[in-house]
Amino acid sequence: MKQRQIGADGAWVSELGLGCMGMSAFYGSYDDETSTRTLLRALDLGITHFDSAFLYGYGHNEELIGKAIGSRRDEFFLATKFAHRQQPGGERVIDSSGDWARQSADDALQRLGFDHIDLFYMHRRNPATPIEDTVAGLASLVEAGKVRYIGLSEVNPATLRAAHAVHPIAAVQMEYSLFTRDIESELIPACRELGVAIVAYSPVGRGMLTGALSADTLADNDFRRNLPRFTGENLDHNTALVAALTEVATEIGCTPAQAALAWLLAQGDDILPIPGTKRIPHLEENTAAANVVLTPAHLAALESTASAVAGERNTEAALRTTYL
């Protein structure tokens, strides 16, 4: 698989990565045996960029990765995230302080069984904490050799610039897909000015762009049941858009998920999609998107099918913690 660079002076990784969230949380049931086979298959397919976070099962995902592929540590680039913190009573809060960054890194390394984290992100920002404090804490981890590069997730251009002034930011992780393009106007230009990579999470619209989802296919405990785009009339509207996208993908000679990923790859060499899956067939389908060649006419046709998405990308409560 072709390689792309994480930031202006960062590591080179596979142009398509693997988001591991669904192996531990949010998307219905999962099991470690299936996930382990998928992680190993990803390495064999040439994927070298794996994305995790404490929030994904409150540490379970990091433990899974360490056990499943830790013996092949020199073959992959591991990104994980901190900031979510579980209180004694079970309440989840966002702590983006430098002290919590340092503690979280130590805890993550213990769960992983690794001696360093390749890319350590602030998962979400608490506006009460100056971003300079957060980045100072992350920078101290780089100095200590516990972290190679630092990143931010769901930040706005002003926060990125303030952070980058303290220590170089290698990557910003944001939701980005044919169905979610709001970062194109301001954040992507800011990233490009500073030499910061854009890691695109939910690149197939949380599964909607696969063309295989409906209200009936979502498990009762799948968090997408609470997302505006996956409910009521919004879901009906968006399903029709995906049907149109599927027709375009068929003309191209690929699946709708592959078309969506190929579209993202065509947006620039600094865009690194991390489609998530817990099953090998989906992994292999996603990986094959790297071989899809899109013409300007294909790109325009795909964009036209997704020009009027109905519903917000997340819940109102979750959106209050994004783009800060």
Residue given tokens 């375009």 in the structure block: 248
Annotated catalytic residue 56: yes
Which amino acid would we find at residue 321?
T
Kindly state the tokens that stand for 257: 């998920």
Q: 80 near 117, Cβ under 8 Å?
A: yes
Which H helix or E strand runs over 78?
Answer: strand 77-82
Q: Which of 56, 121, 149, 201 is catalytic?
A: 56
| Separation of alpha carbons 2 and 234, rounded Å | 37
Kindly state the tokens that stand for 147: 């972290």
Residue given tokens 């579980």 in the structure block: 86
- Give the residues across from 171 on adjacent strands: 151, 197
Kindly state the tokens that stand for 199: 């890691």
Closest CA to 302 of 292, 311, 312: 292
Q: 4 near 13, Cβ under 8 Å?
A: yes
Kindly state the tokens that stand for 177: 């897909």
Residue given tokens 């290698």 in the structure block: 170
Q: Phi and psi at residue 286, in whole multiples of 5°?
A: -65, -45
Q: 27 near 37, Cβ under 8 Å?
A: no
Q: How far is CA 116 from the centre of its chain?
A: 20
Kindly state the tokens that stand for 21: 């969230």
Coil, strand or helix at 123? coil
For residue 314, is it left (φ>0), alpha (ψ between -120 and 50) or beta? Answer: beta
Q: Where are the beta strands (DSSP E) in the chain?
A: 3-5, 12-14, 18-19, 49-51, 77-82, 84-86, 92-94, 117-122, 147-153, 171-175, 197-201, 271-273
So which residues are the catalytic ones?
56
